[in-house]
A and B are shown apart, each in its own frame.
Chain A
Amino acid sequence: MQFKSQAVAKPYFIAAIGLFVGQILFGLILGLQYVLGDFLFPAIPFNVARMVHTNLLIVWLLFGFMGGAYYMIPEESETELFSPKLALILFWTFLIAGALTIVGYLAVPYATLAELTGNNILETMGREFLEQPLPTKLGIVVVALGFLFNITMTVLKGKKTSISIVLLLGLWGLAVFFLFSFYNPVNVVLDKFFWWWTVHLWVEGVWELILGSFLAFVLIKTTGVDREVIEKWLYVIVTLTLITGIIGTGHHYFWIGTPEYWQWWGSIFSALEPIPFFAMTVFAFNMVNRRRREHPNKAAVLWALGTGVMAFLGAGVWGFLHTLAPVNYYTHGTQITAAHGHMAFYGAYAMVNLMMISYAMPILRGRAANSNKSQVLEMWSFWLMTVAIVFITLFLTAAGILQVWLQRVSDAPLPFMVAQDKIALFYWMREWAGAAFLIGLIIYIASFFVGGDEKEAA
């Protein structure tokens, strides 16, 4: 580790992995509820489990982003972090706030939670992914601002590389667009319109800047390719991301009361959204092929290549599959969406965090790379989780196609629940693939505890 203050990243990474485990466990509960409808009812109804599943996802990704930034920024800026102490205070604040929120979801009915936490003062709850009570939302803003202050001050007092600048833009964008979560007009069309300014402009906008920046950083470190080349690629990728992704928001404005012209804008621009992901894949493979050194951390390189490929498949290909308005008319709000969501989030954001953790954790633990034995185990977990998510996606896609046919296309459309019963086989297969994912995750965690001949610190 080049700078002592990079060590604050470690608790962030550990918390991220812990919350990731929670996310997957609740995912398995949800998968079972799809086929055994009354599983855990009424103790943990589906909506509660889903809220826990998606909120844990968001929070662990944010922990990963923050940890990654705390690790990367001092090294890029060639200076110690502005305030390691602030980073640790914010860590505990965020962890405790996050844990209390999850306990709140599970302990009391949602309506009671809303009553208790001041939803009457400012009504922001009960919208998908933004279910957090008002104090939690305010806490997220405080933590984000403190974090941004810390990171920005570090960059300002040190070297300003393109990788840092792109990361800062991504992180500031994340904080700014989160503010739309406080706007909840009584007009449901306006509510939905601006809800996407948080949700879409996060995952198909500014988060991709964070992704690109992390990927560029790890590629520089592991391949030794010239920084000028990598940073040029980074700019090209984030350009493609934003010129397609911003107007691409339009693919959410097809059927929510917004004018029909969005069907054109949304279809055309979001059809181009796979391009930046394709560029990212080409970028990663290209840089690894042109490597000037053999980095001992093979696992981190595998995650870097994997995130490019899986983000392209999940976000790019599976997104394109249902993004054209005439197709989306039939697939909107079905299991096709769920299929896309699972592979896109895993491929783009889970994997990029796992890549950063894979690269940084050994160094934070005082070695250039983990032992061969540990890396082999980590690579097994890579393949198990990745193949499992591919199968989850394929089964949900099959379920989705059948659902669309039975419920929306056939001559005698079936009611929702009748169609669901007919496709239960695919939900069962999805659940088995989910169990395989959990095994992969357990192996991943085990890889941290395997000893052997660690590579000396460089």
Chain B
Amino acid sequence: MSGAFTKSMARNIFYGGTIFFFLLFLALSFDTHSQLPKRDMRANITPQIAEGKKLWEVNNCIGCHTLMGEGAYFAPELGNVVVRYGDEGVKAFIQSRPKEGIPGRRSMPQFNFTDEQLNAIVAFLKHVNSINDANWPPNSQG
């Protein structure tokens, strides 16, 4: 770097550039929020779906699974699991996990959910599946 470009010029570009791009980011975020209601299906969120999201969180499902591609990569994507297995299939799968796991296989814990809790989880996963996420994942396998 030549002598003509001084430290104080670099500093000014740093502050100016950061502020400009942060404001641009805020503007884009603001616009996103005006568009989201049409995409995130918030009008359909029921107390049951909220309960499902809470169960999803307090059992740390994201510690193994992904949801819309985010999370751990140890177990299948669940954003579209209702497409793969159907409501009853999802419930039956969760219910039938052996307490001690399956020898030699990646095993999901037995959470001992009540029927009401299972319904809430499925309601939440169906809600996630209904979100307009630009057609991801590429196919039903997740």
CA distance A270 to B4 in the complex (A): 30
Tell me the smallest distance from the CB of B18 to a CB of chain A, in Å.
Answer: 5
Q: Report if A238-B14 is in contact (Cβ < 8 Å); known contacts: A37-B107, A127-B62, A259-B35.
A: yes
Q: Which residues, 120 to 142 on B, are CB-close (under 8 Å) to A? A: 127-128, 131-134, 136-142
Within 8 A of B (CB), among A90-134: 110-111, 114-115, 119, 123, 125-128, 131
Q: Which 4 A-B pairs have the closest CB atoms?
A: A47-B63, A126-B57, A333-B69, A37-B106
Complex interface residues of chain A between 325 and 342 (CB less than 8 A to chain B): 329-330, 332-335, 337-338
For A231, the chain B residues whose CB sits under 8 A away are 7
Establish whether residues A235 and B10, one from each chain, have CB atoms under 8 Å apart when the complex forms. Answer: yes
Contact A188 B141 (CB under 8 A): no
Contact check, B134 vs A51: say whether CB atoms are below 8 A apart: no
Chain A positions within 8 Å of B, measured between CB atoms, are 33-34, 36-38, 41-42, 45-48, 50-51, 110-111, 114-115, 119, 123, 125-128, 131, 162, 184, 186-190, 192-193, 228-229, 231-233, 235-236, 238-239, 242-243, 246-247, 249-250, 252-263, 265, 329-330, 332-335, 337-338, 407-409, 413-417, 420
Interface residues in B32-82 (C-beta closer than 8 Å to A): 32, 35-36, 39-40, 42, 45, 49-50, 53-54, 56-64, 66-77
Contact mask B1-28 → A, CB, 8 Å, 1/0? 1000111001101100110111011001
Q: Are A42 and B7 in contact (CB under 8 A)?
A: no
Q: Contacts A37-B104, A162-B11: A125 and B58 contacting too (C-beta < 8 A)?
A: yes
Write 7 A-B pairs (CB below 8 A) sorted by A numbering.
Answer: A45-B63, A188-B131, A193-B32, A236-B1, A243-B18, A246-B21, A257-B133
The reply to whether the CB of B89 lies closer than 8 angstroms to some CB of chain A is no
Question: Most chain-B CB neighbours within 10 Å: which of A33, A45, A258?
Answer: A258
Closest to B110 in A: A42
Which residue from chain A places its CB closest to the CB of B38 in the assembled complex?
A259
Residues on the A chain within 8 Å of B64, using CB: 45-47, 50
A438 to B124, CA, bound (A): 41
- A187→B76 contact, CB < 8 A: no
Contact of A125 with B57 at beta-carbon distance under 8 Å, contacts A47-B63, A162-B7 already known: yes
Q: Which residues of A contact B62 (CB under 8 A)?
A: 47, 126-128
Query: In the complex, what distance in Å separates the CA atom of A265 from the CA atom of B136?
Result: 18
Q: Tell me how far the C-beta of A249 lies from the nearest C-beta in chain B, rounded to whole angstroms.
A: 7
Decide yes or no whether B100 CB sits under 8 A from chain A.
yes
Cross-interface CB contact of A257 among B59, B77, B111, B132, cutoff 8 Å: B132
- Chain B residues within an 8 Å CB radius of A36: 104
Does B106 contact A46, Cβ atoms closer than 8 Å?
Answer: yes
If the complex has contacts A47-B64, A110-B60, A114-B58, are A333 and B77 also in contact, measured as CB distance less than 8 A? yes
- Cβ of B63: which chain A residues have Cβ within 8 Å of it? 45-48, 50-51, 110, 128, 131
Complex partner residue of A38 from B60, B101, B127, CB under 8 angstroms: B101
Query: Which residue of the partner chain, among A45, A188, A265, contacts B109 with CB atoms under 8 Å?
Result: A45
Q: Is the CB of B76 within 8 A of A38?
A: no
Is A126's CB under 8 angstroms from B58's CB?
yes
Min CB distance, B107 to chain A, in Å?
5
What would 14 more interface pairs be, CB under 8 Å, given A128-B70, A242-B17?
Answer: A46-B72, A47-B74, A48-B60, A51-B60, A114-B57, A125-B57, A126-B57, A232-B10, A238-B14, A242-B21, A249-B25, A257-B36, A258-B36, A263-B134
List the A side residues contacting B71 at CB < 8 Å.
128, 333
